[in-house]
Chains A and B, each alone.
Chain A
Amino acid sequence: QQQVKQSPQSLIVQKGGISIINCAYENTAFDYFPWYQQFPGKGPALLIAIRPDVSEKKEGRFTISFNKSAKQFSLHIMDSQPGDSATYFCAAWANFGNEKLTFGTGTRLTIIP
Chain B
Amino acid sequence: DAGITQSPRHKVTETGTPVTLRCHQTENHRYMYWYRQDPGHGLRLIHYSYGVKDTDKGEVSDGYSVSRSKTEDFLLTLESATSSQTSVYFCAISGARSGRAHEQYFGPGTRLTVT
Contacts and interface: CB of A to CB of B under 8 A. Distances in A.
Interface string B85-115: 0000010101000000111111111000000
Given A43-B90, A44-B43, A106-B42, A101 B106 contact: no
B109 A101 contact: no
A89 B109 CA distance: 16
Contact of B42 (A41, A49, A95, A105): A105
Contact of B102 (A42, A45, A93, A104): A93
A103 B107 contact: no
Contacts of A41: 109
B109 A43 contact: yes
Contacts, number: 49
Contacts of A104: 42
Contact of A99 (B44, B101, B109): B101
30 contacts: A32-B102, A34-B102, A34-B103, A36-B106, A42-B108, A42-B109, A43-B90, A43-B92, A43-B109, A44-B43, A44-B106, A45-B106, A46-B104, A49-B103, A89-B42, A89-B43, A95-B102, A98-B56, A99-B31, A99-B101, A99-B102, A100-B33, A100-B58, A101-B102, A101-B104, A103-B43, A103-B44, A104-B42, A105-B42, A106-B42
